[in-house]
A and B are shown apart, each in its own frame.
Chain A
Amino acid sequence: MQLQQTDEQLIAAVLAGNTKVYSELVLRHQRFVFTMALRFAKSREDAEEIAQDCFVKAYKALGTFNQTSKFSTWLYTITYTTAMSHLRKKQLDTQSINDEENEIQLESQISDFNADLAERKSTSYWLNTAIDQLVQDDAIIITMFYKGEQTLEEIGLALSMNSNNVKVRLHRARARLKEKLQFLLKDEVKELI
């Protein structure tokens, strides 16, 4: 049985000229990068665009990755900055949107809502709804800590924050999330677990 190569081994292979193995790195991290992008973008199409952009940026800059941190931490830093700049760009764009386009957006939101009805009862739905109501940085910290396997120091590195700051924000975000879940689900909150 062939052992799974580490991220570092795959990077070394890419830098040595075997660029096809980069797809393995993409497959390994795409779900987390996409989830992180979705916390900013709110639409799957935009999130996919951000996530793709992140992987292309990471590929281009792979030669500068000096391996002082985990590849995932480095990649999530790129994801965070890319998503932030996308969000800023999006905010500027929305100021110039005319009424006609607003109507189209409203219609698509309604159809999205109907499509979502089927999965409304799922744990994932309620959890994501509650996380989406958090401040973006808090949502990212929660996601990185619980699903990104990142330490407080690594999250701090990715978000340009002090690790103590991250710790405080994580604690507060968790408390807020709990409140939001209890508010959304009332007595049904225990059924989620």
Chain B
Amino acid sequence: MKMTDDEMDALLKSMELEEPSMSFSRNVMEQVALETAPVALKTKVNKQVIYSIAAFFAACMLGIFVYALTNSSFDYSWSKIELDLGKVTDKITSSQFLKLFLMLDAVIALIWLDSVLRRRLA
């Protein structure tokens, strides 16, 4: 005779937990009494404070955006845009910039390697 999934679920839900010995909690409290009393290391972060800070910054950004919109003129045409990317690319492809870029990459790679090794050794 086969058992259905629902029957299996019901059986598992009806499973009883094991009971430790009568002296269990007393033994724990005796051991705990030998330890120094714990103290809160971190104050609990109040989410309301975080939300209100976020709301303040969102309101600021929205205000600036609205202010910028109301004070800007929309008679702008694309023909006025003159792009000279040559100067920008020259700056980017300079030897000093590339060295700095590679250095930054190397630092990020080392940080990542360190975190991977720490996790593996833990």
- Pick from A20, A60, A189: contact of B3, CB below 8 A: A189
Of B22-30, B66-74, B86-94, the one with at least 4 CB within 8 A of chain A:
B22-30
Number of residue pairs across A and B with beta carbons under 8 Å? 110
> Is A59's CB under 8 angstroms from B38's CB?
yes
> Is B44's CB under 8 angstroms from A15's CB?
no
How many chain B residues have a CB neighbour from A under 8 Å?
Answer: 34
Chain B residues whose CB sits within 8 angstroms of the CB of A17 once the complex forms = 37
A89 CA / B12 CA spacing, docked (Å): 31
> Is B38's CB under 8 angstroms from A62's CB?
yes
A148 CB to nearest B CB, Å:
9
Instruction: Name the residue among A17, A48, A187 with the largest chain B CB count within 10 angstroms.
Output: A48
Chain A interface SS verdict (over half):
helix
A64 CA / B44 CA spacing, docked (Å): 10
> Is B20's CB under 8 angstroms from A193's CB?
no
Chain A residues whose CB sits within 8 angstroms of the CB of B12 once the complex forms = 127, 142, 146, 174, 177
Chain B interface SS verdict (over half):
loop
> Is B19's CB under 8 angstroms from A34's CB?
yes
> Is A14's CB under 8 angstroms from B8's CB?
no
> Is B28's CB under 8 angstroms from A56's CB?
yes
Given contacts A17-B37, A19-B32, A63-B38, contact A124 B16 (CB under 8 A): yes
> Is B18's CB under 8 angstroms from A38's CB?
yes
> Is B25's CB under 8 angstroms from A23's CB?
yes
Beyond A63-B39, A127-B15, 19 additional contacts (C-beta under 8 Å) are A14-B37, A14-B38, A19-B37, A30-B20, A31-B19, A31-B20, A34-B18, A34-B20, A35-B18, A38-B18, A47-B18, A51-B24, A59-B32, A59-B35, A61-B38, A63-B40, A127-B12, A128-B15, A190-B7
- Please name 10 pairs of A and B residues whose Cβ atoms are closer than 8 Å in the assembled complex, sorted by A: A23-B25, A27-B25, A32-B17, A34-B19, A35-B17, A47-B18, A52-B27, A127-B11, A174-B12, A190-B1
